[in-house]
A and B are shown apart, each in its own frame.
Chain A
Amino acid sequence: NAGVTQTPKFRVLKTGQSMTLLCAQDMNHEYMYWYRQDPGMGLRLIHYSVGEGTTAKGEVPDGYNVSRLKKQNFLLGLESAAPSQTSVYFCASRRGDSGQETQYFGPGTRLLVL
């Protein structure tokens, strides 16, 4: 199993450009999450999904959109990138049943917005 994978690993954008980050998991997990990591602030939840076709807002959703058309994929979109969105983005997934609270993280995508 590859676990949780993220593409791309690194990207540079100009202000106003758009892009999509892809998260894929091969563990048949129900729940998927997108976080951003900034120095001194830990990880903050952007959006999450509790199942195929569902999405919900997290702590810092502004400027981002998500889609979960397939169970194994969770896409994070930036419609008009801003320098404040320079960050490292992590995707995570977990099983849906109670007692399986562990989230499994991908390796991250480093995004620089100029």
Chain B
Amino acid sequence: AQSVTQLDSQVPVFEEAPVELRCNYSSSVSVYLFWYVQYPNQGLQLLLKYLSGSTLVESINGFEAEFNKSQTSFHLRKPSVHISDTAEYFCAVSGMDSSYKLIFGSGTRLLVRP
């Protein structure tokens, strides 16, 4: 079984400042890792994912995450945030069995202030 921990329920930050959203996971088997973003009153959208290969993955809007197997972490970072990045961010893991079920963390609300 897998589990995901997002320790920070809310992260306030000023516009143009850097941000890191933390994600740690637990699993006895290899996993795929994901970050999803949810804007107010909308469904979830995939931000980025790690399946294999390079441990550093990037999104098209400037976010990046690094898979660290030894620390079982997949933290999300952005060097300079914008007001429009205000949203809730969910880290998720999926086992490699045939169901590909997602196990989500409890979410981190990123609040970007001007």
Contact = CB atoms under 8 A, between A and B. Distances in A.
A105 B36 CA distance: 10
B106 A42 contact: yes
Interface in A1-53: 4, 31, 33, 35, 40-45, 48, 50
B49 A102 contact: yes
Contacts of B32: 101
Interface of B: 4, 6, 9, 32, 34, 36, 42-46, 49, 51, 90, 94, 98-107
B42 A94 contact: no
20 contacts: A31-B100, A35-B104, A40-B107, A42-B104, A42-B106, A42-B107, A44-B104, A45-B102, A48-B99, A48-B101, A58-B101, A90-B44, A101-B32, A101-B34, A101-B49, A103-B100, A103-B102, A104-B46, A105-B43, A105-B45
A42 B105 contact: yes
A33 B101 contact: yes
B44 A105 contact: yes
